[in-house]
Amino acid sequence: MHRLRYFIGLVTLALAAVSAIWIVRLLRSYDERPGLSLSVEFRNARGLRAGTDVRYRGITVGTVRSVAISGDGRKAVAQLLIEPTGARHACVNSNFWVVTPRFGGLTGGATGLDTLVRDSYISFYTPPNSGSELSDGSLLAGSERPPSNAEPEALDDVQHGDLLMTLLVPENHGLIPGSAVIFRGMQTGDVRSVTLAPSGTHVEVDLRISRKHRHTVTDKAQFWVARPTVTGALLSGFTVSDVSALLTPFISYYVGPGEGVLVQDGYRAAAELARPSFEVSPVPGKAVQQNNVRGPIVSDDVVLVRVVYAALERDTLSRDDPIKREGSGVLYLDSSGRAVVITARSLVDASFTEGDFWGDPEIDNEVIKVHLKDGTVMRAGRVWVDPKGHDLAALMLEDARPDLTGTPSKRIVFVSKAEGQFQLRAVGPDGAELPTQPLTEGLPITEDNHGASAVADGKVTGIFGRKPGGTVSTVVVLGQLPEDLRPR
Amino acid sequence: MSEALVFRNFGLAHRRPGGEEVLLEGVDLTLPGNGFFVLIGTSGGGKSSLLRILAGLIETREPAPRMTGELLAFGKSLTGENPASLDHDVAAILQDEGLLDELSPRENVEVALRAAGRSRKLAPALLAQAGLHNPPERVAQLSGGMRKRVAVARALASSPKLLLCDEPTAGLDPDAARTIAKLLRDAHDQDDGRTTIVITHDLDAFEGISDGILVLDRPSRSLRLEPSDFRLSHTDSVAISPEGDLGEPAAVHWLRRLLLQLAAIGETVVDSVRRAPPVEMGQVVRTTLRFVLEPALFVAVAGAVIGGLATFFALRNNPIDGGFESALLTGTGKVATAVLVPMLSGFFFTARIAAGASARIGTMKRTNQIAALRMMGVNPADYLLTPLVWAMVIAMPLVTFCGVIAAALAAAFAAHAASGITVNGWATAYFMTVRAQDVLVILGKSTLSGYLVALTCYHLGTGPKRSGGDVGESVNSAIVVGMALVLTVHAGLTFLIYA
DSSP letters, A359-393, are BS-EEEEEEEEEE-TTS-EEEEEEEEE-TT--S-E
Rounded to two decimals, the ipTM of the complex is 0.73
Contact A6 B256 (CB under 8 A): yes
Same domain flag for A343 and A477 = yes
* Helix/strand/coil for B299: helix
The pLDDT value given to residue A438: 83
* Helix/strand/coil for A184: coil
Contact A8 B263 (CB under 8 A): yes
Whole-angstrom Cα distance, residue B179 to residue B195?
Answer: 20
A and B: number of Cβ contacts within 8 A: 55
Q: Is residue A289 part of a domain?
A: no
Whole-angstrom Cα distance, residue A409 to residue B143?
Answer: 99
Same domain flag for B15 and B161 = yes
In this structure, what are the phi and psi dihedrals at residue B227, rounded to the nearest 5 degrees?
A: -65, 165
- Report the DSSP pairing between strands A377-385 and A362-371: antiparallel
CB of A210 closer than 8 Å to CB of A221: no
Whole-angstrom Cα distance, residue A483 to residue A154?
Answer: 49
Which of B234, B250, B280 lies at the terminal end of a domain, its last residue? B234
For B230-364, where are the E strands, in sequence order?
none
The pLDDT value given to residue A292: 43
Is the Cβ of A314 closer than 8 Å to some Cβ of chain B?
yes
Residue ranges making up the domain that contains A94 = 36-141
Burial of B131 (0-12, 13-18, 19+ CB in 10 A): middle
Whole-angstrom Cα distance, residue B44 to residue B18?
Answer: 19
Q: Is residue A122 part of a domain?
A: yes
Give kind and range of the element (H or E) at residue A93.
none
The pLDDT value given to residue A132: 75
User: What CATH number is associated with residue B181?
Assistant: 3.40.50.300
Of B260, B435, B499, the CB nearest to A5: B260
Q: Is residue B253 part of a domain?
A: no
Give the residue ranges of chain B where pLDDT is below 70: 1, 232-247, 320-323, 499
* Helix/strand/coil for B25: strand
For the full predicted model, state whether its pTM sits above 0.90: no
Same domain flag for B194 and B303 = no
Whole-angstrom Cα distance, residue B424 to residue B426?
Answer: 5
Contact B259 A16 (CB under 8 A): no
Phi/psi zone of residue B371: left (φ > 0), alpha (ψ -120 to 50 degrees), beta?
Answer: alpha
Phi/psi zone of residue B210: left (φ > 0), alpha (ψ -120 to 50 degrees), beta?
Answer: beta
* Helix/strand/coil for A134: coil
- Report the DSSP pairing between strands A95-99 and A36-42: unpaired
Q: What is the CA radius of gyration of chain A?
A: 30
Of B262, B435, B440, the CB nearest to A9: B262
Is the Cβ of B260 closer than 8 Å to some Cβ of chain A?
yes
Same domain flag for B441 and B294 = yes
Whole-angstrom Cα distance, residue A298 to residue A302?
Answer: 7
Residue A92's CB: how many other CB atoms inside 10 A?
A: 13
Closest-CA distance of chain A to residue B175, Å: 43
Same domain flag for A137 and A177 = no
**Angstrom distances, CA of residue A299 to CA of A303, A377, A432, A433, A470:** 8, 19, 10, 9, 35
Residue B167's CB: how many other CB atoms inside 10 A?
A: 18
Same domain flag for B270 and B154 = no
Closest-CA distance of chain B to residue A3, Å: 9
Chain A residue with Cα closest to B439:
A316
Q: Is residue B116 part of a domain?
A: yes
Give kind and range of the element (H or E) at residue B37.
strand B36-41
In chain A, positions 177-206, which contact chain B (CB-CB < 8 Å)? none
Is the Cβ of A13 closer than 8 Å to some Cβ of chain B?
yes
CA angle B331, B334, B337 (to 5 degrees): 135
Q: Is residue B348 part of a domain?
A: yes
Same domain flag for A127 and A225 = no
Beta-bridged to residue A56, according to DSSP, are A59, A124
Chain B residue with Cα closest to A15:
B266
Whole-angstrom Cα distance, residue A226 to residue A249?
Answer: 6
Q: Is residue A299 part of a domain?
A: no
Same domain flag for A268 and A332 = no
Residue B169 CB partners (closer than 8 Å, separation 6+): B148, B176, B177, B180, B181, B200, B202, B205
Chain A residue with Cα closest to B63:
A2
Contact B263 A6 (CB under 8 A): yes
Give kind and range of the element (H or E) at residue B437.
helix B436-461
Same domain flag for A137 and A167 = no
Whole-angstrom Cα distance, residue A344 to residue A335?
Answer: 21
Which residue in B433, B418, B424, B421 sits closest to B315, CA to CA? B418
pLDDT tens, residue by residue, B175-190: 888 888 888 898 888 8
Closest-CA distance of chain B to residue A10, Å: 6
Same domain flag for A332 and A472 = yes
Q: Is residue B125 part of a domain?
A: yes
* Helix/strand/coil for B388: helix
Same domain flag for A132 and A234 = no
DSSP letter, residue B382: I
Same domain flag for B98 and B189 = yes
Same domain flag for A193 and A109 = no
In chain B, positions 293-332, which contact chain A (CB-CB < 8 Å)? 319-320, 324
Same domain flag for B344 and B442 = yes
Q: Is residue B239 part of a domain?
A: no
Whole-angstrom Cα distance, residue B18 to residue B16?
Answer: 6
Structurally, chain B folds into a number of domains equal to 2
Residue A137 CB partners (closer than 8 Å, separation 6+): A37, A38, A39
Contact A2 B63 (CB under 8 A): yes
CB of A183 closer than 8 Å to CB of A215: no
Q: Is residue B250 part of a domain?
A: no
Is the Cβ of B255 closer than 8 Å to some Cβ of chain A?
no
Contacts of B265 in chain A (CB under 8 A): 12
Same domain flag for B212 and B271 = no
CB of B432 closer than 8 Å to CB of B335: no
Same domain flag for A331 and A458 = yes
Structurally, chain A folds into a number of domains equal to 3
Which residue in B329, B332, B391 sits closest to B357, CA to CA? B391
Helix axes B423-430, B386-419, angle to 10 degrees: 120
CB of A451 closer than 8 Å to CB of A296: no
CA angle A78, A82, A84 (to 5 degrees): 165
Same domain flag for B195 and B277 = no
Is the Cβ of A16 closer than 8 Å to some Cβ of chain B?
yes
Chain B residue with Cα closest to A364:
B435
Give the residue ranges of chain A where pLDDT is below 50: 105-108, 153, 292-298
Whole-angstrom Cα distance, residue A246 to residue A259?
Answer: 30
CA B44 to chain centroid = 24
Residue ranges making up the domain that contains B403 = 261-498
Q: Is residue A460 part of a domain?
A: yes
Same domain flag for B183 and B277 = no
The pLDDT value given to residue A312: 86
Chain B residue with Cα closest to A320:
B437
Same domain flag for A111 and A248 = no
Helix axes B436-461, B355-366, angle to 10 degrees: 20
Same domain flag for A338 and A472 = yes
Give kind and range of the element (H or E) at residue B338.
none
Whole-angstrom Cα distance, residue B181 to residue B207?
Answer: 9
Same domain flag for B158 and B265 = no
Q: Is residue B157 part of a domain?
A: yes
CA angle B281, B287, B288 (to 5 degrees): 90
Q: What is the CA radius of gyration of chain B?
A: 29
Of B319, B436, B497, the CB nearest to A317: B497
Q: Is residue A15 part of a domain?
A: no
Same domain flag for B411 and B351 = yes
Which of A279, A295, A319 lies at the terminal end of a domain, its last residue? A279
Same domain flag for B289 and B329 = yes
